[in-house]
Amino acid sequence: MKPCSTAINNAILITMEPGKAILEEGSILVEGDCIADIRSGAGFPSAPHRQIIDGTHLLVMPGLVNCHTHLPMSLFRGLADDLPLDIWLHEHMFPAEAAQMSPAIAEKWAMHSCRELLLSGTTCCCDGYFYEDYVAKGVEKSGIRAVLGQGVMDFPAPGVPDPGENIAIAEKFIDKWKNKNPLIHPSIFCHSPYTCSARTLKRAKEMADSQEVLFQIHVAETRNEMETVLSNQGERADSVVQYLDGLDILDRHTLMVHCVWLDEKDIDIVKRKNSPVVHCPESNMKLASGIAPVQSFMAAGIEVGLGTDGSASNNDLDLFSEMDMAAKLQKVALYDPCVLKAKSVVEMATLGGARVLGLDHRIGSLAVGKQADLIAINLRQPHLVPLYDPYSMLVYNARGSDVTHVMVAGFFRIEKRIWMAD
């Protein structure tokens, strides 16, 4: 039987709560699925049914939030590397999905990806794919927290052979999962402006708004995306962002993924519409899509989260390596070693990611009353010694394999790097 409470005593504690300092000797108490207390100094005493963990050599922080994944696509990891996005997608991924993806495969490889995520310190992910009802079953078994978007596009897709049914299938998925499991938040994922018509985008967004769920979409991932949108849809606009804005797609509940090719006018539109952005640096680098102007997003006050993308285009789901790359990529792009400091990147992967998903009232930081989604990192590793600045260490030194404990909603899913079965 699992204990009804857990205390981690005398650890380095990073809460990510705004204005809160790092606790060099901090302790955290979990009761049920929530954080009950946080203190500096003396740890919490033993009590009946309470698990006590010595945190002397641990750093405890909020679980990481991966804001963009395609969970079943771990099946295609390494299948078609070193190719541009359009060839990779149309000549390899779409045919592979048509030939191999099935309900059972989607569930199996979603579960596989969730284990990879949990083992590397991610406690919440945002997914967009097809057969999402079966993805949700795999996610549910893993115990991870997730926002799950049923895929929509105007072409036959896995589980949606008739594109005319795409939005109806998405709405059915949302209806089924909306109140089924408190860890699973259904949404809709319109693949992109070049695979969805203006009519489909508008209908999908209207449905998402009526259901009060997140609307996800790839936006301006490649330089020639606007040209493709124009040729496919016959619409007129100066940019993808302006095109979507003209359709009334952009608002606080529209999650824009990639956003590599945005200019100042686009950034101003995104800011005014309060749409959040997801940055996927490793995938963008691997597919040579470009470098998103993240520093400009943040300077404008746009909410930015961090994502790995699917492991078919990354090729892993380790958000620690994504943090490292996010920081370094902006520095080299702007020829400025001072931009996107380590603390900002850690926030992007925790509380910032929670804000992007609309879950910051529940997760993303360690605070009394919030959900107990937290991780512990083993500091007794040669590459983590000495420790001058914990934020710097997390971004430039740490790896997913340094994570020893992973808790979601008060239950350990990983303990001492061992997968904990229900």
What is the tens place of the pLDDT at every residue in 150-201?
A: 999 999 999 999 999 999 999 999 999 999 999 999 999 999 999 999 999 9
For strand 5-13 and strand 50-54, is the pairing parallel, antiparallel, or unpaired? parallel
Domain hosting residue 369, numbered range: 5-63+363-419
What's residue 421's pLDDT? 60
Residues 139 and 178 in one domain: yes
Give the CATH number for residue 27.
2.30.40.10
For strand 184-190 and strand 215-219, is the pairing parallel, antiparallel, or unpaired? parallel
Beta carbons of 186 and 214 less than 8 angstroms apart: no
What's residue 233's pLDDT? 61
The sign of the CA dihedral 108, 359, 219, 161 is positive
Residues 283 and 311 in one domain: yes
Beta carbons of 407 and 372 less than 8 angstroms apart: yes
Residues 9 and 126 in one domain: no
If one counts the domains in the chain, the total is: 2
Q: Quote the mean pLDDT of the chain.
A: 95
Task: Write down the pTM of the prediction.
Answer: 0.96
What's residue 63's pLDDT? 98
Residue 314 main-chain phi, psi, to 5 deg: -120, -65
Q: Is the pLDDT of residue 42 over 90?
A: no
Residues 95 and 142 in one domain: yes
Residues 150 and 11 in one domain: no
Q: Say how many Å lie between the first and final Cα of the chain, rounded.
A: 10
Q: Rounded to 5 degrees, what angle do the CA atoms 318, 322, 323 make?
A: 115
Residues 41 and 161 in one domain: no
Q: Give the residue from 356, 380, 403 where a domain finishes.
A: 356
For the chain, the farthest-separated pair of C-alpha atoms sits apart, in whole angstroms, at 68
Give the CATH number for residue 107.
3.20.20.140
Q: Give the residue from 317, 339, 356 where a domain finishes.
A: 356
Q: Rounded to 5 degrees, what angle do the CA atoms 228, 192, 334 make?
A: 80
For strand 5-13 and strand 58-62, is the pairing parallel, antiparallel, or unpaired? parallel
- The continuous run of DSSP H or E covering 133 comes out as helix 132-142
Residues 305 and 369 in one domain: no
Query: Please, which pLDDT band fits residue 235 given cuts at 50, 70 and 90?
Result: low
Residues 123 and 135 in one domain: yes
Tens digits of per-residue pLDDT, 110-130?
A: 999 999 999 999 999 999 999
Distance CA 405, CA 288 (A): 35
Q: CA dist 157 to 95, 97, 151, 164, 253, Å?
A: 10, 8, 9, 11, 25
Residues 166 and 53 in one domain: no
Q: Rounded to 5 degrees, what angle do the CA atoms 220, 221, 225 make?
A: 60
Residues 185 and 40 in one domain: no
Residues 130 and 22 in one domain: no
Tens digits of per-residue pLDDT, 297-318?
A: 999 999 999 999 999 999 999 9
What's residue 422's pLDDT? 57
Residue 206 main-chain phi, psi, to 5 deg: -60, -40
Residues 39 and 147 in one domain: no
What's residue 420's pLDDT? 80
Beta carbons of 231 and 194 less than 8 angstroms apart: no
Q: Give the residue from 325, 356, 387 where a domain finishes.
A: 356
Q: Is the pLDDT of residue 403 over 50?
A: yes
Q: Is the pLDDT of residue 5 over 90?
A: yes
Neighbours of 36 (CB within 10 A): 17
Give the number of C-alpha atoms closer than 13 A to the C-alpha of residue 28, restricted to the C-beta side.
32
Tens digits of per-residue pLDDT, 343-380?
A: 999 999 999 999 999 999 999 999 999 999 999 999 99
